Amino acid sequence: MMTNNSNNSKNDQEIFSEYYRLINSIIDKSFEFFEFEREKTELLNHEKTELLNQTKPSLSDEKNSISSQIDEVDVQIRETESKIENLNVGKTFRIIGIVAVAVLVTGLFQSLWATIILTGFFIVIVWHN
């Protein structure tokens, strides 16, 4: 009986030893995994920082480019507004000139209605052109 107990005890020790070895192996692998994950995270953060640093200048250049394009469009808008104002002023002077000519021409006929009709006719023609 003693040998049987002794064999059981020896088997138990072997089993316990195997379990202990497996548990240590799992713990070691867990530490290796966590170390790998930490290094991977550090590497990804480093790469992300490098990419951000590379894109910052290009974003700044793009912002400057867009800003200069906005300035160019603003200048074009001002030029167009100026041209429109010049056209309106030119039209006004033409209408005044036409009224003066109409008054002179109809003054020969000495008719107020003829002056009004002729002036209106010339104004409509100039306004639509």
User: From the centroid of its chain, how far is CA 120?
Assistant: 52
pLDDT tens sequence for the chain (129 residues): 455 666 677 777 887 788 778 777 877 887 788 888 888 888 888 888 887 777 666 667 777 888 888 888 888 888 887 877 766 666 666 777 777 776 766 666 666 677 677 777 777 776 665
pLDDT of residue 10: 74
The domain of 30 spans 2-128
pLDDT of residue 69: 85
The tally of domains found in the chain comes to 1
Length in residues, the chain? 129
Closest listed residue to residue 81, CA positions, set 70, 69, 73: 73
Instruction: Retrieve residue 98's tokens.
Output: 């036409």
> CA-based diameter of the chain, in Å?
154
pLDDT of residue 107: 67
- Which helix (H) or strand (E) segment holds residue 77: the answer is helix 2-109
